[in-house]
Amino acid sequence: MLRRTMVSVLAVSLCLVGAVVVKTNLLSAADKGSNSKAPKAIIKTKFGDMEVIFFPDQAPKHVENFVSLAKSGFYNGTIFHRVIPGFMIQGGDPNTKDPSKPETYGMGGPNQRLNAEFNDISHRRGILSMARTRDPNSAGSQFFIVVKDSNFLDRQYTAFGEVVKGMEVADTIVNLPRNARDLPTERVEMTITIVE
């Protein structure tokens, strides 16, 4: 009887430990550096809105840069200029405000450049990360949202936020018809609002 009771207690304990481990894994990067006092961003598109939380503890300069640019209206009227199904959507290039110069899309940005803030946040679905050139310290304003887990980007690009509502919007955008340069044939302009 005592042995059966001990086995039952052990089984219940293992179940509780397993539940804690599962819950911890489900909390993910949203709890690795997100701060309830940190601002949020709303990325508005014609297909709906995406709500983004930031990771200021993991990538403070990237968060500060994005929030500052958004508050200044820098992103308003830019488009998602690169979409790759099964991978990501990219936007934030000020050159995309001019529909007559698509050959310049992907080359624009602000004057300042950010040093990399590589961290332990995995590039899984929903992660907001900063685009850059081959130089790790070349990020400016262009960002991407991962639509499918892309762990090969980990510690190569700076993850600094996560879409917590509206990933179906990103799914719609990534599946739009596109040309050979991955530019959607339909303009998807954005407006980014910061919520303090």
Q: What is the CATH number of the domain that holds 142?
A: 2.40.100.10
Residue 28 has which token pair? 């993910």
The range of the structural domain enclosing residue 12 comes to 1-31
Domain count, the chain: 2
**H-run or E-run covering 81:** strand 80-84
- Supply the pLDDT for residue 38: 80
What pLDDT, in 10s, does the model give residues 93-111? Answer: 999 999 999 999 999 999 9
Same-domain status, 9 and 55: no
Asked if 154 and 57 sit in the same domain, the reply is: yes
Instruction: Indicate whether 37 pLDDT > 90.
Output: no
As a whole number, mean pLDDT of residues 13-26 equals 41
86 and 22 inside one domain: no
Mean pLDDT, all residues of the chain: 87
- What pLDDT is stored for residue 29 in this prediction? 47
pLDDT at residue 36 in the model? 60
**Pair (93, 26) in one structural domain:** no
Residues 49 and 8 in one domain: no
User: How far apart (Å, rounded) are the C-alpha atoms in residues 46 and 51?
Assistant: 14
Give me the residues paired with residue 127 across strands: 162
Same domain, 67 and 155: yes
Mean pLDDT of 14-35: 44
In whole angstroms, what is the distance from residue 180 CA to residue 84 CA? 11
Q: How confident is the model at residue 177 (pLDDT cuts 50, 70, 90)?
A: very high
Banded pLDDT at 127 (limits 50, 70, 90): very high
112 shares a domain with 81: yes
Residues 114 and 182 in one domain: yes
The answer to whether residues 74 and 7 belong to one domain is: no
Residue 92 has a pLDDT of 98
CA distances from 22 to 26, 41, 79, 140, 164 (A): 6, 28, 38, 36, 19
19 with 63, same domain: the answer is no
Same-domain pairing of 126 and 187: yes
Q: Residue 31 above 60 pLDDT? A: no
Residues 120 and 83 placed together within one structural domain of the fold: yes
